[in-house]
Amino acid sequence: MARITNSPEGLFTHGFTLEAVKEWRAREHEAGRPSGLDDFLRDHNLCVECRGNGKFVIGVRWRDNDGIERAEEGPVAVLVQQHELENPAKWLSDTRKGDYLYESCETCGGTGTTAWKRRP
């Protein structure tokens, strides 16, 4: 199953800012080289599959009305609505609404990096 992550956390974890990515892409484009986000990831030895995150969000964890901790896999937005997870009675604690369930990226083994070499 193909998974998509739009989180920039993987970039931040590996020391990149969104501005640095934009600047790199503009330079590569002006030089006539491939300049997409996947090209940036490959050139900087980051995993394309997980966008350098090393993991995918696959669901959520919360407490039900009886205080029992529950977890379910599926689209986060759907689960939040379906189980009314904005309701403070279902939060994991007084300050923590819930938590995500994660699955490690099989492509990079959860590191967010690859063994690929930089382009010359």
Per-residue pLDDT of the chain (120 residues), as tens digits, is 456 677 788 899 999 999 999 999 999 999 999 999 999 999 999 999 999 999 998 999 988 888 889 999 999 889 989 988 888 888 888 778 888 899 999 999 999 998 644 444
Three-state DSSP at 70 gives strand
Q: Are residues 37 and 71 in the same domain?
A: no
User: How many structural domains comprise the chain?
Assistant: 2
In a 3-state reduction of DSSP, which class is residue 61?
strand
Are 39 and 21 a contacting pair, CB within 8 Å? no
Q: What angle do CA 103, 35, 55 make, to 5 degrees?
A: 5
Same domain, 60 and 88: yes
Closest by CA position to 53, among listed 116, 21, 5, 2: 5
Classify residue 88: in a domain, yes or no: yes
One domain, residues 91 and 59: yes
